[in-house]
Structure 1
Amino acid sequence: MAAIVLAFEGSAVLALAGGAQGSELYGNILALAAAVFVALYTLIGRIQRGYLSTTIYTFLTYLACFLTLLLMALASGTPLVGYGGREWLIGLGLAVLCTLMGHSLFSWCLKYLSPAYVSAVKLCEPVFSGGLAVPLFGEIPTPLQLLGAAIILGAVLLYTWAERENKTQ
């Protein structure tokens, strides 16, 4: 319980570290809403992974996402073609690295690890993406952002120890 509270506090520090206002604050509120939906999705995934293989589960999930995004793009008039090679490579990289390698790994883990632990580990995503922003975009984190990241990583480590302790008992 302490690790979950600590992880939440670290996430709050990280979210508010930039002095969020206006559209940035709105973005943080949307991110919080997304976190709630990810938690629900993780719980549903835990149930589904009890009797579906990772391959079938991820195929159905990705198909549902594809159809939903396709309908949303068509409804909003967003063009599906006409993008340059760079954008297609970025999309391919996101599809392979983030979705197939990242998301599918989380889906696989749901059969073997608790959904709470899988959710806690997902909190590391903004920390590592923030770390990648340094060499890729030259974005240097503020001391408060570094503090939030350290709290999150410490909380996930604490949670890992607690999970390991529960497994050995």
Structure 2
Amino acid sequence: MRGAGQPAAASDSGTAVPSGAVFHVAPAIDRAGGVEAPLNGVAAVARRAPAEGSAAGGATGATSVRTAGGALPLLVMGLVVVSWGLGPPISKLLTAPAMVSAFIRFGMSTPFLLLVLALRGRWLSRRVFWQTALPGLSFGINMVFVFAAVQEVTISVMSVMMALQPAMLLALVGPIFGDRVSVRQIVFTLIGVGGAVGVIMGAGGEFRASGFGLFLTAMSVLTFTVYFVLTRMARASTDVDPIEWMAGINFWSFVAAVPPTVLMVTPSQFFEFGGLDWLWIVIVAFVTGVFGHVLMTWCHGHIEVARSSLYVLAMHIVAVGTAWLIHGEPVTPMQFLGGAVVLFSVAMVIRTPTGSRAAPARSEQVAEPESPVAARSRN
């Protein structure tokens, strides 16, 4: 990331685009810039925000971000919702123990992302390697807590608690990110959470939970929130290549998965993984994991966290629809109603004007040097 006052790179040559513009570009993977929108200067808007803040005398915090409106961020967010929504019903097809599946998932995705970086002539930098340590360990530990929690609570109970995450993030966006959250956003976020709970509980089935199981579930929500927040902070304050970032995340997640796998999994359980499990784990690792999380990392630089966390609730609708197609699970009227409430809440928040405290635009006018005559007369 270039500092204030340094010359712009070739990909940053575009002029600043108003926040309400529609960007007719697509994310691209190139050798120099990663997954960005380099065709018309949109990426430059997000990249220049931290530098402009320092050029303006430090008026904004390190985590200020210039969020971009338009169709592209919403389109990418829609792809994230679909890919993440496919995760639960596809994971249900796995016959091997969950801890074995999680270990193999990170064991496949980590070398793949490092290989992609190498093919682009890049490598995991020392800065990103250490920046991803805490969020990566949090993401990996999240998988451990999920594995332990499903032994104590039903999936429905865990899903309901996960659906409460957007409400939790509303309390953090102001102090951490400087995003201004309107009353409209708060109201429709809470309504959306209620709709998501309706989608989950509408499936019926058994609701079982122990006190220890609820603790484990709460820790899984907390660790995923830490990963979510730290990734957003990195995208807001530094010029992060989403692929490089997720390579670091997956490396540290794999590190976090090793100790519990060694302690909790017997060698014979690894032999239970086979057949179609390899197909399902490829989809989970590369569609839900690599594809979905790389795009979500990109979205963190373009959408306020209070909005993106609400949009993610729509993944429950995708999960229910996919479970109906794959597993034949019926869709109840309560789920239809809950899904409609979620979509309505998302639509209302999309229509809400952005409230992020964007970094002030740096003046493009360069002061002319003072003439020697004028300087002498002033002295």
TM-score (norm 1): 0.83
C-alpha displacement of 1:32: 6.3
Q: Distance in 1 between matches of 2:296 and 2:244?
A: 14
Answer 1 or 2: which has greater helix percent: 1
Single out whichever of 32-41 and 5-14 deviates more from structure 2.
32-41
Equivalent residue for 2:254, pick from 54, 57, 66: 66
**Is 1:22 aligned to residue 212 of structure 2?**
no
Letter of the structure 1 residue corresponding to residue 283 of structure 2: G
Q: Distance in 2 between matches of 1:99 and 1:154?
A: 27
**1:158–1:20 distance in 2 versus 1, CA, 3 Å:** farther
How many residues align? The count is 164
1:77-96 to 2 correspondences below 5 Å? 77-79=265-267, 81-82=270-271, 83-96=273-286
1:1-169 to 2 correspondences below 5 Å? 1-17=186-202, 18=204, 20-22=206-208, 34-49=220-235, 50-51=237-238, 52-79=240-267, 81-82=270-271, 83-162=273-352, 165-166=353-354
Report the structure number with the largest CA radius of gyration: 2
CA RMSD, 1 decimal: 2.6
Task: After superposition, give the CA deviation of every residue in 1:69-103 in whole Å (9 maximum; x if it has no partner).
Answer: 22221110244732213111110111111011112
- Please say if residues 313 and 342 of structure 2, whose CA atoms lie closer than 8 Å, have aligned partners that are also in contact: yes
SS across alignment from 2:354: helix
Letter of the structure 2 residue corresponding to residue 44 of structure 1: L
**1:12–1:33 distance in 2 versus 1, CA, 3 Å:** farther
Q: Distance in 2 between matches of 1:30 and 1:140?
A: 29
Letter of the structure 1 residue corresponding to residue 270 of structure 2: V
**1:8–1:30 distance in 2 versus 1, CA, 3 Å:** farther
Single out whichever of 39-48 and 83-92 deviates more from structure 2.
39-48
Q: Distance in 1 between matches of 2:214 and 2:335?
A: 14
SS across alignment from 2:301: coil
C-alpha displacement of 1:15: 3.2
Task: After superposition, give the CA deviation of every residue in 1:121-159 in whole Å (9 maximum; x if it has no partner).
Answer: 211111101111121111111111221111112111211
Single out whichever of 29-38 and 136-145 deviates more from structure 2.
29-38
- Please say if residues 196 and 316 of structure 2, whose CA atoms lie closer than 8 Å, have aligned partners that are also in contact: no
- Please say if residues 242 and 298 of structure 2, whose CA atoms lie closer than 8 Å, have aligned partners that are also in contact: yes
**1:66–1:37 distance in 2 versus 1, CA, 3 Å:** same
Single out whichever of 27-36 and 49-58 deviates more from structure 2.
27-36
- Please say if residues 15 and 28 of structure 1, whose CA atoms lie closer than 8 Å, have aligned partners that are also in contact: no
C-alpha displacement of 1:33: 5.5
Could you tell me which runs of 5 or more consecutive residues in structure 1 were left unpaired when the two chains were aligned.
Answer: none
- Please say if residues 232 and 301 of structure 2, whose CA atoms lie closer than 8 Å, have aligned partners that are also in contact: yes
SS across alignment from 1:85: coil
Letter of the structure 2 residue corresponding to residue 58 of structure 1: M
**1:40–1:161 distance in 2 versus 1, CA, 3 Å:** farther
**1:138–1:16 distance in 2 versus 1, CA, 3 Å:** closer
**1:86–1:100 distance in 2 versus 1, CA, 3 Å:** same
Q: Distance in 2 between matches of 1:128 and 1:30?
A: 26
Single out whichever of 84-93 and 12-21 deviates more from structure 2.
12-21
**1:151–1:37 distance in 2 versus 1, CA, 3 Å:** farther
Could you tell me which runs of 5 or more consecutive residues in structure 2 were left unpaired when the two chains were aligned.
Answer: 1-185, 356-379
